Amino acid sequence: MSHVFTTTRELRFGDCDISGTAYFPAYLDILNGVNEEFWAHLGYPWHEIIWKDRWGTPTVHLTCDFSIPSLFGQTLTFDLRVVKVGRSSVTLKHDISCEGEKRWNSTQVLAASDLDKHTSVPWPEEVKATLDEWLVEA
């Protein structure tokens, strides 16, 4: 079974430059919030895995392609797909649109990381099983 996680974000004043155009560093901050919401949706909220279980999901690779500018006040739709699950990494594909019009996309690799040793670790079995359930078939 494959899934798409979808959520929306309204572009706020602080997300934009003086012209009212979304500023790309703000896009990355918003994308991080989408990831946090996705992990909570899976049943692994960051505040629990970070403080209680002591593992995290840092970004180890990120590419972005921007198609059309987005403006202050517009609502962006984020579609997140799991496209690859490894022993200790997951590759996410993000497609971002506004009212059905593509705005930008991103491919992101997250790694399971021991927060005390600062090393990569295999996914806990239940986490890997959950990620595998979300894997989009190629």
Contact at 8 Å (CB) between 135 and 85? yes
Q: Does domain 5-134 have CATH number 3.30.365.10?
A: no
Distances (CA, A) of 25 to 7, 22, 63: 19, 9, 13
The pLDDT of residue 57 is above 90: yes
CA distance 49 to 46: 5
Average pLDDT over residues 102-124: 97
The pLDDT of residue 74 is above 60: yes
Helix, strand, coil share (%) of the chain residues, nearest 5: 30, 40, 30
Predicted TM-score (pTM) above 0.85: yes
The secondary element (H helix, E strand) that includes residue 133 is: helix 125-134
CA distance 129 to 90: 12
Which band of pLDDT confidence, cut at 50, 70 and 90, is reported for residue 13?
Answer: very high
The pLDDT of residue 90 is above 90: yes
Give the tokens for residue 112. Answer: 């399971």
Q: How many helices (H) and strands (E) does the chain have?
A: 3, 8
State the pLDDT at residue 137: 76
